[in-house]
Amino acid sequence: MRETLKNLISKTLFFEYSLPNKKISTKINLSTHDDDCFSYSSEKDLSELIYQSILDYSYNEFEMNNKDLSILLSKALCNKIKYKEYQTELTKIKYGFYGEVLLYSILYHFYNTKPIISRGYFYNPLENSETKGYDSYHLIENEDKIELWFGEVKFRDTLDSGAKSAIEGLEKAFTDTYLSNNIIAMDNYKNNFNIQGTKIEEILNEWDGTPINIIEQVKKHNMILVYPILLVFPDNSINYDEKIKSAINKINKKFSLKKYSLSIPYKLFFILLPVSEVKKIKKEVISWIESKKHRI
């Protein structure tokens, strides 16, 4: 990640606390791990962060070295995310990349997860649809295990809509088949991996050209699926703690902990980011893109 983007994240996003804590004694029932809560400096700053994160979301670090970032951004808008300038503002607001690039920056900066591959590689402009698969492909490599951070993000006009979509999607996301398919999809782009010299590169090279059971190999190498769900949702309440309490209560009222069919260990937690107005933030990002504002 570029240092300029790291600095922008530091001045824009603020980690408030994990749940549960002394202020709020509960967390989201579905979580197997502590939930994390964030705040932000302003809508304008958050819009700029999303805009400036498009490049790092779309390309691996070595691809940006000594390159014209303006040209790379133009290519990213066409080939790495779903953005078509001729479409209506209402259609553009519904794009999924706003949350995905924000999730990328949060995981990299606050959780020290290294991207395995830039998410933009999975977008196919010919399909004219949102990118399929998990919303993030990051990892943390420890001595005895590898944590695959394959997460999800919902950046919607209501908390109910975002939470419902993300939680109902767990039935598919937490299956051996879906995990296997995503790892296979990653392997198809292994020449663009951002993990040179790591254990997971050795593992993927070991799999190369060999008919294997992906899940058995995941177990063999002590891999864990970590599944953060980033919920960006509107709440104009003045008190931050009340926003978080309200979100937890709404989610817990409708959803409870379930057993999923995934046969490897997993951790599930939520990242909560209440904002004042979702559409305002997205409209500002659109303005940044179409006025071709400066890249940091």
Residue 15 lies in a domain: yes
Give me the pLDDT at residue 281, please: 96
CA distances from 291 to 22, 69, 86 (A): 45, 15, 14
Model pLDDT, residue 125: 58
Give domain status of residue 295, yes or no: no
pLDDT in tens, 88-99: 999 999 988 999
| Position 99 in a domain | yes
Distant-in-sequence, close-in-space partners of 108: CB < 8 Å, separation ≥ 6? 1, 56, 114, 115, 138
Distance, CA of 207 to CA of 18 (rounded, Å): 38
Q: Give the pLDDT score at 118.
A: 67
- Mean pLDDT is lowest, of 15-19, 45-49, 124-128, 263-267, for 124-128
C-alpha span between 204 and 286 (Å, rounded) = 38
- CA–CA distance, 163 with 47 (Å, rounded to integer): 22
* pTM assigned to the model: 0.91
For helices 199-207 and 176-187, angle between their N-to-C axes, nearest 10 degrees? 90
pLDDT tens figures, 74-92? 888 887 887 888 889 999 9
Higher per-residue pLDDT: 104 or 80: 104
Tell me the C-alpha distance between 40 and 289, whole Å.
21
Within a domain: 110: yes
Please state the domain count of the chain.
1
In sequence order, what E strands does 80-144 have?
Answer: 114-115, 138-141
Long-range contacts of residues 214-218, Cβ cutoff 8 Å, at least 24 apart = 214/179, 214/180, 214/183, 214/184, 215/176, 215/179, 215/180, 215/263, 215/264, 218/179, 218/183, 218/264
Please report the pLDDT score of residue 35 as a whole number: 97
pLDDT tens for 188-242 read: 776 666 666 767 777 777 766 565 788 888 888 888 999 999 999 999 999 999 9
Answer whether residue 296 is part of any domain. Answer: no
- Domain ranges, residue 284: 3-290
Residue in the structure block whose two tokens are 């080939």: 79
